[in-house]
């Protein structure tokens, strides 16, 4: 289950980068919708990766007790 979470999180962040590149390539400025959506996808993917790591560290600390 954790591997699938890591895969989907990484894919989400990758899609965010792709959306940013496509928007900038099409001439989108800082206020373009594609920039906002891309940044939100990157933040969501990175947040999921961070949360998965934080959860793993929490479980490891409980196992040590």
The pLDDT tens digits of the residues spanning 11-65 come to: 999 999 999 999 999 999 888 999 999 999 999 999 999 988 876 776 776 676 6
- Can you give the pLDDT at residue 3? 84
How far, in Å, CA of 39 to CA of 33, rounded? 10
- Can you give the pLDDT at residue 2? 79
3-state DSSP call for residue 27?
coil
Q: Which pTM does this prediction carry? A: 0.81
CA angle 9/11/13 to nearest 5° reads 70
How far, in Å, CA of 46 to CA of 2, rounded? 15
């Amino acid at each position: 289950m954790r591997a699938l979470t890591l895969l989907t999180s990484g894919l989400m962040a990758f899609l965010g980068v792709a959306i940013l590149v496509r928007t900038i390539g099409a001439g989108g400025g800082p206020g373009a919708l594609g920039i906002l959506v891309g940044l939100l996808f990157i933040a969501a993917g990175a947040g999921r990766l961070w949360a998965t790591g934080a959860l793993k560290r929490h479980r490891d600390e409980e196992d040590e007790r």
